Structure 1
Amino acid sequence: MSQLPDRISRLEELARDLWWSWTPEARHVFRRLDYPLWRLTAHNPVRMLRVIAPDTLAQAIANPAWLAQYDRAMARLDETRAARNTWCARECPELAGRSVAYFSAEFALHQSLPIYAGGLGVLAGDHCKEASDLGIPLVGVGFMYPQGYFHQTISADGWQQEVYEKLSWTDAAIEPAMTPDGKPCVTAVPLGSRTVLLAVWRVRAGRVTLYLLDTDLEENAPWDRDLSARLYGGDRETRVQQEILLGVGGVRALKAVGITPAVYHLNEGHAAFAVLQRIRDLCETGWAFEAALEEVRRTTVFTTHTPVAAGHDTFPFHLVEKHLTGAWGEFGPYREKFFALAHHDTGDGPMFNMTALALRTAGATNAVSALHGEVTRRMWSAIWPGTLPERLPVRSVTNGVHASTWISAEIRALLDRYLGPDWIDHHDDPAFCEGVLGIPDEEIWHARQTLRAFLFTFIRERARHRWTKSGASASHIVASGTMFDHTALTIGFARRFTGYKRPDLIFADADRLAHVLNAHGRPVQVLFAGKAHPADDVGKHHLQQIYRRVLDPKFGGRIAFIEDYDLHVAHFLVQGCDVWLNNPRKPLEASGTSGMKAAINGTPHLSIGDGWWAEGFTGDNGWLIDGQADPNDHGAQDWADAQAIYRLIEEELVPTFYDRDANGIPRRWLQVVRQSIRTVLPRFSARRMVKEYVRGMYQPALGQQPVTK
């Protein structure tokens, strides 16, 4: 790294705090420092500072405007870290001097730290960012994953191929976590008949800190060094070991760095082994098992995200027993009682079920949308036998998205102008967001056209890069969207490829779709992106079928697939598409958040009434897909829903988008765009969501009387 001049000596400190990634004035410091290098390094300021030319730094210091930008960013970072007069300080003073530990198998904070696979990680990242903004003393606990999640390439016949790259530690905003006595933090976890060491890394995100666990230490056996190498890698035996390390190791890591959380929040069941370590710690200080369980339950919050039975981790009891052999300590006599907490039979015999363990050991549980709450109460009613469904202890906290991360600069500028520069402080207030109705059509349309142009520029430049770097074939270049019309109605579909999301539903009647896409003077184009889980061959087949359709001449080059979907690609898609398509099989979509990100940018939702859209659709802020077929007949349902999509596109989307006044403005379309922003921004923001967690789950846990041992 170039030696930083004294005048800007804190620039590296700013680069290593991911707070910059959602704070425009901080982003502009790096963007304006060397824009070509900013793009070349994929918006990674740590890497940027490592390779920047000293002359560039000298020029920056000589630029009063840039220097003033730097000073403002550093002053705001200091103000953020001071955490004075925050929402949390005003509304929940009982959290002062205490902390909430947020356990998650993945976190999506920025593409330069690829420790996420999809929606769960993006939700966790948005939760942490909003907690920082609100001043909530939250610490995240997860894995480092030196190889991260895979990069996706598509073969000539459309089959997904996974490529793993080892993270460049010198280019990432990470640093060793330190113990209170100033030493790098390493903690030990008994795993089977051996002990595995975990290095603990720290990631700064404003007022929030993440602690990430890493088994890649020389002292560990080669196979143990690989346990934390990849996100969701390996077989079931690898998975259970990873989850023991996350839960047990996460609790031990917090203890080693001197943090004693007041509340533990388990984001999905992956981290449920944390309760084992916490109960064991209490029992070893003289607590009875039942009292220790009640104390852990009092201070544990659990969020479940999965309405699909196969999505809940289960393990044979003998496999758990094998890997917990060394973890019992003096807790051993209570082994059977602990196993009973995880006992659940979904029809294939009793298994050690991570979700069942979390449900039985959490004092507060929530689903992630109102409809998902109903599904969850039905799915897990056996956990509370004899309890009426309406009395089951599962509430709903509908997911939300972090506005500062996902809203485009163009829409942000409009909100600054018409709602006031402090709109971000009030954006979860529906009454405040009524001001969106005052934004002129001409300005919204200009912003939307600009964002679509950015998307197509990105597509072309990405294709150019692939061609020059790897000699991609002509068909590959066409498949990536280079033939798209920058003025045509563009529908986006980007998410994980798996069966219940029905990614290829729109192709149910290929001839009718071709007619819709190629309508003279009013064309439509569809842009796909997303990855299938490495072990999900069904999802890979769906992706392959779509890729083959992309190359089919009957669609006239109006379908495209963008490879290697990640946070960077997602920003262009949710901001630049005109419509966001979502067609899961109801009720298997727990929430979904990509449509929220699109909607707050003026990209209306076209969706089945599942997940968040069951509560978000108002009749004038997007479109509802409802084929009205028997949900038990999947073939009939798929056909009916596909026909409903075609009708909506032909009869509502196309005329509304293409009907223009004398000035070329689609007035009716912009009414939908405006309502999309107005209704979704306040109700489906991470700000509203995190405040609900604080008021409905964190504060009640803090307010209960501690259990006596």
Structure 2
Amino acid sequence: MINFIGNFNIIPSLPEKLEPLREIASNLYWTWNQEAIELFRRLDMDLWEETHHNPLLMLGKISQARLNEVAVDDGFVAHMNRVFIHFQVYLGEITWYQKNYKTQASPPYIAYFSAEFGLTECLQIYSGGLGVLSGDHMKSASDLGIPLVGVGLCYKEGYFQQYLTSDGWQQERYELTDFYNQPMELVTNENKEPLKIELDFPGRKVLFQIWKLQVGRVPLYLLDTNVPENFEEDKKITRSLYGGNVETRIQQEIILGIGGIRALIAMDMRPIVCHMNEGHSAFLSLERIRNLIKHQSLTFNEAKDMNFYSNVFTTHTPVPAGIDIFPNDLIEKYFGFYYRNELQINDKTFYGLGTIIKDKAPSNFNMAHLAMN
């Protein structure tokens, strides 16, 4: 006899007539379609607020009685079908990009890297303006049909939520995100197992898996180090947005920049242009140079020039507080072997990439300067 003690969630069965709800909820197109938002509010306004505007979680928590009720509500069904038809038309229509540009290359042509993506309240992978800018960039790319793919990090805790205590003190709390109740899925390999990418860290290997979200027409890939193969500390690398210390920050930025490029290649995507939203992902330049040296037999300077002319760097916080600067000893710890053996350059050349001030030896490594070099 097997004794089992645990929790069970009874998930309601979605009537066949309401099946379009699942498809609408599984693509973040609904986040900027007001009629779709009103559809989910109409389904259950209280639950909509309780789930922080998460339609997939709603469909798992709503009562069976309510689903059965709206399935025979002609007004609701007509509203749902109208949204679903608009969604299908949106995905299938000729886009601005297709009308204006012809190319034989295989998409995506642009990879957009950002440490934050503010797409919707229920997915806490942003803290403010930087994330909202990134999220709007993805939505605009979808509307225009630009062949773009987004790359970011998958934060289990995200950014903290602020609240006031009864005596007026400001406090913060972190809310865990259940990725399986979000409109996202794990990228798998040919064996239908999660695709995992390996990176060399000091004295060990660190692996990450990849989550995919669909933002209208464009995909967003989020990198997650919380996998069984990693040490406990390494599982936490992508746990919090802007959490931990300076070493956590450099680890996150290695995952985002170098890991992001390796993830795209592992998924058979080789973008022509890489767009860095702020300097957090600037290590991608080093990985692109490494690939050009290794696979195209270019010299370092040739690869550096090719990388320079195929990267885009944008910043909306050009002040010291908005720019990551790492001490050289920390950079040496994580990149000493990499630049000497993979890039095949000396320390003067390498550390010169982290500054635009060329008249003296730098003591720190500036990520914005790396992005511009």
The TM-score with structure 2 as length reference comes to 0.90
Q: Evaluate the alpha carbon distance shift between residue 162 and residue 38 of structure 1 in structure 2; reply closer, same or farther with a 3 A threshold.
A: closer
Amino acid at match of 1:298: Y
Indicate the residue corresponding to 1:529 in structure 2.
none
Q: Work out the CA distance in 1 between the residues paired with 2:87 and 2:340.
A: 44
Q: Work out the CA distance in 2 between the residues paired with 1:239 and 1:201.
A: 21
Structure 1 residue 95, shift from structure 2 partner: 8.5
Q: Is the 8 A contact 1:190 1:326 kept in 2?
A: no
Indicate the residue corresponding to 2:320 in structure 1.
309
Is 1:324 aligned to residue 335 of structure 2?
yes
Indicate the residue corresponding to 1:359 in structure 2.
372
How many pairs are equivalent? 359
Is 1:290 aligned to residue 301 of structure 2?
yes
Q: Work out the CA distance in 2 between the residues paired with 1:287 and 1:181.
A: 35
Name whichever structure is richer in helix by fraction.
1
Instruction: Give per-residue Cα distances to partners, 1:3-35, cap 9 Å, x unaligned.
Output: 222222232222121111111222232222223
Alignment of 1:641-656 (within 5 A): none
Structure 1 residue 61, shift from structure 2 partner: 1.9
Amino acid at match of 2:99: R
Alignment of 1:147-158 (within 5 A): 147-155=157-165, 158=168
Is 1:338 aligned to residue 350 of structure 2?
yes
Q: Work out the CA distance in 1 between the residues paired with 2:39 and 2:216.
A: 16
Match of 1:93 among 82, 99, 102: 102
Q: Evaluate the alpha carbon distance shift between residue 103 and residue 155 of structure 1 in structure 2; reply closer, same or farther with a 3 A threshold.
A: same
Partner of 1:352: helix, strand, or coil?
strand
Match of 1:110 among 85, 95, 120: 120
Q: Work out the CA distance in 1 between the residues paired with 2:53 and 2:216.
A: 18
Indicate the residue corresponding to 2:6 in structure 1.
none
Alignment of 1:555-594 (within 5 A): none
Q: Evaluate the alpha carbon distance shift between residue 222 and residue 9 of structure 1 in structure 2; reply closer, same or farther with a 3 A threshold.
A: same
Is 1:175 aligned to residue 185 of structure 2?
yes
335-344 vs 208-217, which moves further: 335-344
Q: Evaluate the alpha carbon distance shift between residue 257 and residue 10 of structure 1 in structure 2; reply closer, same or farther with a 3 A threshold.
A: farther
Indicate the residue corresponding to 1:121 in structure 2.
131
Q: Work out the CA distance in 2 between the residues paired with 1:98 and 1:80.
A: 19
Structure 1 residue 335, shift from structure 2 partner: 4.8
Alignment of 1:415-494 (within 5 A): none
Instruction: Give per-residue Cα distances to partners, 1:586-612, cap 9 Å, x unaligned.
Output: xxxxxxxxxxxxxxxxxxxxxxxxxxx
Q: Is the 8 A contact 1:107 1:124 kept in 2?
A: yes
Is 1:52 aligned to residue 62 of structure 2?
yes
Structure 1 residue 349, shift from structure 2 partner: 5.7
Q: Evaluate the alpha carbon distance shift between residue 348 and residue 162 of structure 1 in structure 2; reply closer, same or farther with a 3 A threshold.
A: farther
Amino acid at match of 1:318: D
Partner of 2:353: helix, strand, or coil?
helix
Indicate the residue corresponding to 1:200 in structure 2.
210
Indicate the residue corresponding to 2:23 in structure 1.
13
Q: Is the 8 A contact 1:145 1:231 kept in 2?
A: yes
Partner of 2:344: helix, strand, or coil?
helix
Is 1:62 aligned to residue 72 of structure 2?
yes
Structure 1 residue 184, shift from structure 2 partner: 2.2
Indicate the residue corresponding to 2:260 in structure 1.
250
Q: Evaluate the alpha carbon distance shift between residue 292 and residue 180 of structure 1 in structure 2; reply closer, same or farther with a 3 A threshold.
A: farther
Amino acid at match of 2:334: H
Q: Evaluate the alpha carbon distance shift between residue 288 and residue 190 of structure 1 in structure 2; reply closer, same or farther with a 3 A threshold.
A: same
Q: Is the 8 A contact 1:344 1:350 kept in 2?
A: no
Q: Is the 8 A contact 2:355 2:362 kept in 1?
A: no
Amino acid at match of 1:342: G
Structure 1 residue 345, shift from structure 2 partner: 6.0
Structure 1 residue 48, shift from structure 2 partner: 0.5
Structure 2 unaligned regions, length at least 5: 1-10
Amino acid at match of 1:27: I
Q: Work out the CA distance in 1 between the residues paired with 2:238 and 2:105.
A: 34
Q: Work out the CA distance in 2 between the residues paired with 1:38 and 1:270.
A: 34
Amino acid at match of 2:352: A
Q: Work out the CA distance in 2 between the residues paired with 1:20 and 1:142.
A: 21
Q: Work out the CA distance in 1 between the residues paired with 2:251 and 2:180.
A: 28
Q: Is the 8 A contact 1:178 1:257 kept in 2?
A: no
The TM-score with structure 1 as length reference comes to 0.48
Match of 1:134 among 130, 133, 144: 144
Q: Is the 8 A contact 1:203 1:210 kept in 2?
A: yes
Q: Evaluate the alpha carbon distance shift between residue 42 and residue 101 of structure 1 in structure 2; reply closer, same or farther with a 3 A threshold.
A: same
Q: Work out the CA distance in 1 between the residues paired with 2:170 and 2:361.
A: 31
Structure 1 residue 96, shift from structure 2 partner: 6.9
Q: Is the 8 A contact 2:28 2:215 kept in 1?
A: yes
Amino acid at match of 1:101: A
Q: Is the 8 A contact 2:290 2:342 kept in 1?
A: yes
Greater C-alpha Rg: 1
Match of 1:75 among 85, 96, 99: 85
Q: Is the 8 A contact 2:114 2:278 kept in 1?
A: yes
Structure 1 residue 40, shift from structure 2 partner: 2.9
Partner of 1:239: helix, strand, or coil?
helix
Partner of 2:163: helix, strand, or coil?
strand
Indicate the residue corresponding to 2:283 in structure 1.
273
Q: Work out the CA distance in 2 between the residues paired with 1:224 and 1:11.
A: 37
Indicate the residue corresponding to 2:156 in structure 1.
146
Structure 1 residue 97, shift from structure 2 partner: 3.7
46-55 vs 8-17, which moves further: 8-17
Indicate the residue corresponding to 2:3 in structure 1.
none
Q: Work out the CA distance in 2 between the residues paired with 1:339 and 1:148.
A: 32
Structure 1 residue 325, shift from structure 2 partner: 4.3
Q: Work out the CA distance in 1 between the residues paired with 2:166 and 2:50.
A: 28
Partner of 1:334: helix, strand, or coil?
coil
Partner of 2:41: helix, strand, or coil?
helix
Q: Is the 8 A contact 1:175 1:202 kept in 2?
A: yes
Amino acid at match of 2:145: G
Q: Evaluate the alpha carbon distance shift between residue 350 and residue 325 of structure 1 in structure 2; reply closer, same or farther with a 3 A threshold.
A: closer
Q: Is the 8 A contact 1:190 1:324 kept in 2?
A: no
Instruction: Give per-residue Cα distances to partners, 1:317-355, cap 9 Å, x unaligned.
Output: 110110124545842422533332113569996311101
Amino acid at match of 2:21: L
Q: Work out the CA distance in 1 between the residues paired with 2:330 and 2:23.
A: 44
Structure 1 residue 306, shift from structure 2 partner: 1.9
